[in-house]
Each structure stands twice: as structure tokens, then as C-alpha cells.
Structure 1
């Protein structure tokens, strides 16, 4: 039997055309991605994304539109599953109260699981700003859309 791992992520863009990035470390493995995470059994995608934003960012969000769903094979780096990622454009329902960082992996604490947030201007965003292939594809598509709109 094949295992599928469904992930859902929010692309939160502020008034300065900056997107929220999450830098994380789990058990010594560092990665940068968009806020979000795994779908739990019994959840819908939107509910999962809202839960993830509350858990990660202590923020309530509104999902405004679907942006991208993985359209290529992507094996998880953590286990033997196939990753299917769904990306939505989201907006925060209140000002985020996070300790935003300027540089990557600038964690405030120590432990097995760490997370820090930073804003990155869309025009300066590169594939290297994200660790995983699905996030890199989302960056590519986001930059195309942003350039077309600006």
C-alpha cells in the first residue's frame, strides 16, 4: 500500500509585498517553508490550514483563494510517503504578534523542535529561500504572478 502525506500551506502576503516564511529545525534538520503542515485524519484542507496557523503563528486567517497543488511526484525527506501539497493565498484577521527575524534560522530558544518567522519581499524571493521542491515550485509560480501583477 502506498502512503500519501497531504500538506497544506498558506501564502500570507503583507501590504509591502512581503511573504511570511517559516524557518524550522526538527531534531537537527533545518528547513525553510511557508506556514502550514500536515492534514490530520478527519480534517478538510481549509480547517487544517486554519489550525496550523493558530498552532504555528497564534493567528486566525481567512483563506482567499487556492493557489497551487503539487503536480509532480515528491517523496518525503522524513519518511517513505508521497507528498501532496496544497497552497492557498491567505490573509490574517488581525496583526501578527510574532518576533519577526531578519535572517534565517534565528531561533529564540533551544530544543528538538524550533521555529522562527521572517518576511521576505516577493521580488527578492528565490528558490533557495525554501528547502522543499513543492515550496520551490510555489515560489516560482508566485514570482510569475507577482511580476505579471506589478
Structure 2
């Protein structure tokens, strides 16, 4: 009998602007609000860097250059949406062209959006960044690493 391994591989980008602010995505999906870094699930046959470029195009309508690897999950986390184990990989990214998005000031400001899936973006200054700004445990861990050593990203 062949074993199956229910892994969910995800890839995320750490984008910091010239004002030393981190780009955060606020989303509503599956009936819940959550805050995370831009990115998402890897598709079959896709490499990590290509997957991250695709995710930025889908979510932010932006082309990015994928830079230095920052972190890969090194502890067990079960998906909030399934029984799969989540493995997340984080890279520093830079923009090829400026973002053409409407930025919000408050979390979960989906004004004008309808439907079952909603998304908005905001910038959080690194000086005010906290793990609690994120919803999921791996993202919180990554934010903790950024807060403890912001110079690693600047």
C-alpha cells in the first residue's frame, strides 16, 4: 500500500517599502478574516520562486524579483482549512514596478467588495510590527524573526 503525505506547501513574499513598512494582505475567505503576507499555495509542477511570482501577479497585479530566502517552517502546523500539514517558505521580494493597489489603513477594510472572497492591502511600519498582526502561527513566527532582527531585511 502506497503512503500518502498530505502536505500543503506555501510560499510568501516579504516586501518592505522605502518607508520601512511591510506589505500585509487582509483577506476574508472560508467565512473567516485573516491577515498574512502576500503569497499562497504552490501548484503542482511549480518551483518556489515561480510560485511566488505567480502569487504576486494574482494577488497584487505586480511583478516581483524574488531575492534571498528568509525562512522555511521548521515546526509542525496543521492547516486552518484542512487536515494537511503546512510547510511555508518565505523570501524577500522587490518590485519590478511600483504597486498599483489601493492601500487601506485598518485591517479588514473591504469597503466596496462583494462576494465570498475579499482582499485588501496595508502597510505596517517595521517599528510597530508585532507577531499578533498576523493570524496564522507560521506568519507570526516570521514576524517575530523580523522584529528581533529588522536589519536582516534592510
Report the alpha carbon displacement of residue 2 of structure 1 after superposing the two structures with TM: 2.7
CA-to-partner distance for each residue in 1:22-52, whole Å, 9 max, x for gaps? 0000032110000000000000000000000
Counterpart of 1:45 (choices 32, 35, 48) is 48
Report the alpha carbon displacement of residue 149 of structure 1 after superposing the two structures with TM: 7.8
Instruction: State the SS of the aligned residue for 2:87.
Output: strand
CA-to-partner distance for each residue in 1:57-84, whole Å, 9 max, x for gaps? 0000001100000010000010010000
What corresponds to 2:14 in structure 1?
Answer: 11
What corresponds to 2:67 in structure 1?
Answer: 64
Quickly say closer, same or farther: Cα 1:147–1:77, change in 2 above 3 A.
same
Counterparts of 1:22 and 1:149, CA distance in 2 = 19
- Count of paired positions: 150
What corresponds to 1:128 in structure 2?
Answer: 132
Question: Where does the alignment leave 5 or more consecutive residues of structure 1 unmatched?
Answer: none
Q: Does 1:119 align with 2:123?
A: yes
Question: Where does the alignment leave 5 or more consecutive residues of structure 2 unmatched?
Answer: none
Q: TM-score, normalised by structure 2?
A: 0.94
Counterparts of 1:40 and 1:146, CA distance in 2 = 31
Counterparts of 1:96 and 1:148, CA distance in 2 = 23
**Cα contact 2:126–2:150 (8 A) shared by 1:** yes
Ranges of 4+ aligned residues in structure 1 off by more than 2 Å: 147-150
What corresponds to 1:76 in structure 2?
Answer: 79
